[in-house]
Structures are given as structure tokens and as C-alpha cells.
Chains A and B, each alone.
Chain A
Amino acid sequence: MPTPVIIASGGANLASLRFALQRLGCDAPVTEDPGLIEAASHVVLPGVGAARDAMDRLRAAGLVDVIRRLQQPVLGICLGLQLLYTGSDEDDAECLGIIPGQARRFSRSARLPVPQMGWNAVRKVAETPLLEGIDGESYAYFIHSYALPEGPQTCGVADYGGVFSAMVQHENFFATQFHPERSALFGAAVLSNFLRI
């Protein structure tokens, strides 16, 4: 039985994530405790709000190096995906630097509302355990103003005035730009796949 934890990275809405894991049979504590995080079978790094605030909070909790050194499967969600990268244009934030790349703001020139808030289709572009048993296009729920361009770590993309990384994987670090806990059956399948890694 997996024993995941959720890193308390700030942002109000961790209840929905906890409930989503509960529906899969896991009671995941929300914690800033490095010992609990290191001992977990799986680590979820959620994130709501601004990249700089989230990084400040991780630094204050002494978690930056703890996260970088994790060997077990890690799942970044939403801002948590962006935090895995080198940095974000949002307040010029320096992030964890686990994956090379820079989060960019959506351009308003596409005449699409920013933030993107809603359902969008995710298309698989590379094999990943997160999409095990899931074929074709699936809809997922996104809320974000910044995104990572497609790169070597991208395994799922979505299009919002241009293609961006919806799912990435780098060694034991996985991430979704969408909210699996709010993405109905598709999201539950992604979370369930993650817990099986």
C-alpha cells in the first residue's frame, strides 16, 4: 500500500487533493516535515498561487534540497510542475532547478482569457507510466497563467493559443500542469497510475 505525503507548499486548496487520494484508498498527510517527506513512498508537490511565494515557503521550511534529493516518485501539480523547473517569469522566480526550462506567461495576443481556467484536451506525446492504460485525448482541468513550452521531458501536451507541457517526466519526477484531483475519471486514473509507480 503506498504511503504518500502532500508537501504543504502554501495555497488554500489541499482538501480536494487529500480527498482525491482518499478515494484511491490513501490517507496522505499534508506536511512540511523533511523526515516524513523523505520516508514517504510517494511525494506530491501541489502549488497554488505565485511561484516566488511557494519557493520562499519551501526555502523557509528547509525543503529545497530535500525535494531535489528525493529518490521516490514525486508528482508536481499545477504550480508544482513549474517549481520543478529552473525558473518562472512570474516575478522572475528561481525554482527548484530539477528540470531545465523556464515557465512563461500565456500571451494575451491569442485573445484567450488568462488565466486559462477550465477543461482542455491533453494529448499524449511520449510514453509515461502516468498515462498507462489511457489512450487518445483526455480532458483535464487547468487553472494557470504560466506554462512550460514543450520540451524533452514533455509526455502530454495541451493547446491554449499554442502548445504547452501538460504532463512531464524527468527520472523520478513527474508533473501535471492540470489538476488531476479536479479532472474527473481521467484525473483519478493519472493519480492511481502515479501511486502504482
Chain B
Amino acid sequence: MVVKGVRFRDHRVMGDIIELARRYRDEGADELVFYDITASPDGRTVDRNWVNRVAEVLDIPFCVAGGIRNLADAETVLNLGADKISINSPALENPDLIEALARRFGSQCVVVGVDSLAMAHGPSSDGGESKDSLKGGATGSQDGQPSTDPEYLVYQYTGDPNRSRTSGRRTLDWIIDAQARGAGEIVLNCMNQDGVRKGYDIEQLRRVREVCQVPLIASGGAGAMEHFREVFERADVDGALAASVFHTAAIPIPALKRYLIGAAIPMRPPEEE
């Protein structure tokens, strides 16, 4: 499954959003994720009518991420036609929100987005920041055993460079917790890879896959068709999300899908012209 992320922060680009939605629909994207940056993180009420306009033209599922911090926000967005809502920082602030959303709307529409940073971590590493940041964390083992494995930490408020910081949670612990609370899908954004186009963080995704029983979507790092093949084959993810390579048409979705199908990765073929 190829998922397209569309990040936007200006409602004047509304026409562009609809245009993009149409374009990716026609190219054969399997799902779209809209990151409504205007909607977060300051909590003001925003105009969500664009969701309805998108629902009108799309015949594939789409997810809305950004600024959903309570049941009412979620209900608005779902009623306007979104199939799923994705929550990130608000879930870290208030993990009970995941349970409340899953009870009310069903796990199938509750996506938890996780921004995860790999920290070099070992007996001699400069793990100071990660250790400090873990103090007071609500989860995580307290065994204090040094490890040569990288430590994966969850970041929050990543939409705002001035507020972005570690949440004090370990990524694997948080993903286990989020599933227990009713998350129906995990989008793992590997921050070290984001925007670098060097490929997905296979090692981290494999570790997460081991603890993730719900659909897992890889995000961050796609730069070439081989990267998609690699993440499906080696990390066994359910979907691969990318933004810039699709925006710029560096990788056309129909060609990508034909390539992946040729590599025996099961996938909906692009529509015949």
C-alpha cells in the first residue's frame, strides 16, 4: 500500500489540496494522509470544511492528522467524511484519548502517529540527553542495563521546531501502550530519516514490527523505488508513506506500483488508462 502524505499550513492552498487529492487518486495512491498543520499546536478552532471537499472527490480512504485533541474534534472530521483520524502529541499528553476515541468510533479509525528518534546508545555513548529526558517518563524499564542497541525515543510537537522535544517515552513501550489502549494503526515516522531520502529506517521498523500487531505504516526516508521494496520485504510493514518524492514526481506512483508488483509485493495495481 502506498500512502501519500500531504502537508499544508495555509487554507488559501485549498484548491491545491483538492487538485492534489484528485491527482493522487488518479495516479493510484491507496490512501492519503492530510497533515493539517494550521490545526495545531495552539488549539484554536479551525475551519475543517476542506475535509468535506476532499471527501467529495476521493474514492480512496483518507486520514486527517493534526489538531485532533478530543472527541468533538474527531467527530467533526469523521462526519465531514474522513475515514481515519491520526493523533500524535495529544495522545502523548493524554493517552486516555486513544481509549476514548477507540470506544466511541472504533479502533479502525484511530491512527496513532509516532515521531521517533534513534539515539546512539551504549556504554560509552553520550546518552546524557536521553537519560535525562527519560526521568519521569511514565513508561520504560528501570533496569538501567547499558545496551549497544540504539535507543528509540518518542518526540512530540514536531510540527513546531521551537517546541519539538522528547516526550520521555521509549518508542517500543509507547507503541505497545497505544495498541493496548485501542490504536488501530501505527504510523511510525523515523525522524532521523525524514527528508533525507536515504531509505526507511529498516532496523527500527523491524523492531517495532515485532511488537506491533495492528497495521504498521512506515514513514520517513523514501528517496528511491528500491527503498519501498526494501521496507516491504525487510520490515514487513503494511504500508509505506512518502511525501516529497511523490510531490515532486521524482517517483511516479504508477511506475512505483508496477515496480513493486514486479518484485512480488502484493499491491493494488495502478488503474488502467
Question: B108: CB under 8 A from chain A?
Answer: yes
Q: A12–B30 contact, CB under 8 A?
A: no
Q: Please indicate the chain B residues that have their CB under 8 angstroms from the CB of A23 in the complex.
A: 59
Q: Please indicate the chain A residues that have their CB under 8 angstroms from the CB of B52 in the complex.
A: 15
Report Cα–Cα, A12/B104, bound state, in Å. 10
Report Cα–Cα, A48/B75, bound state, in Å. 14
Query: In the complex where A114-B213, A141-B61 touch, is A12 in contact with B105 (Cβ < 8 A)?
Result: yes
Q: Which of B81, B106, B214 contacts A113, CB < 8 Å?
A: B214
Question: A184: CB under 8 A from chain B?
Answer: yes
43-79 of chain B: CB within 8 A of chain A: 52, 55-56, 58-61, 75, 78-79
Question: B90: CB under 8 A from chain A?
Answer: no
Residues 133-145 of A, flagged 1 when their CB comes within 8 A of B and 0 if not, give 0000001010111
Question: A150: CB under 8 A from chain B?
Answer: no
Q: Please indicate the chain B residues that have their CB under 8 angstroms from the CB of A143 in the complex.
A: 83, 108
Question: B238: CB under 8 A from chain A?
Answer: yes
Q: B59–A113 contact, CB under 8 A?
A: no
CB distance from B111 to the nearest CB of A (A): 9
Residues 153-197 of A, flagged 1 when their CB comes within 8 A of B and 0 if not, give 000000000000000000000000001011111011000000000
CB distance from A12 to the nearest CB of B (A): 4
Query: In the complex where A13-B78, A16-B81 touch, is A115 in contact with B184 (Cβ < 8 A)?
Result: yes
| Interface SS, A side | mixed
Of chain A, the residue at the smallest CB distance from B79 is A12
Of chain B, the residue at the smallest CB distance from A108 is B213
CB distance from A183 to the nearest CB of B (A): 7
Q: Which of B56, B79, B105, B268 contacts A119, CB < 8 Å?
A: B268
Q: A118–B214 contact, CB under 8 A?
A: no
Q: A12–B59 contact, CB under 8 A?
A: no
Question: B215: CB under 8 A from chain A?
Answer: yes
Question: B149: CB under 8 A from chain A?
Answer: no
56-114 of chain A: CB within 8 A of chain B: 108, 113-114
Question: A129: CB under 8 A from chain B?
Answer: no
Q: Which of B59, B75, B80 contacts A185, CB < 8 Å?
A: B59
Report Cα–Cα, A181/B62, bound state, in Å. 12
Which residues of B are in contact with A by a Cβ distance under 8 Å? 1, 25, 28, 30, 52, 55-56, 58-61, 75, 78-83, 105-109, 184-185, 212-216, 238-239, 266-269, 271
Task: Sample 30 A-B pairs with CB under 8 A, ordered by A number.
Answer: A12-B78, A13-B83, A15-B79, A15-B80, A16-B58, A16-B81, A19-B56, A20-B59, A22-B56, A23-B59, A48-B109, A49-B106, A113-B212, A113-B213, A113-B216, A114-B213, A115-B108, A117-B108, A117-B214, A118-B1, A118-B238, A119-B268, A121-B266, A179-B61, A182-B83, A183-B59, A183-B60, A184-B25, A184-B60, A187-B59
Sort A-B residue pairs by CB-CB distance and give the 9 closest, nearest first.
Answer: A15-B81, A139-B268, A12-B78, A119-B268, A143-B108, A113-B215, A182-B61, A19-B56, A117-B215
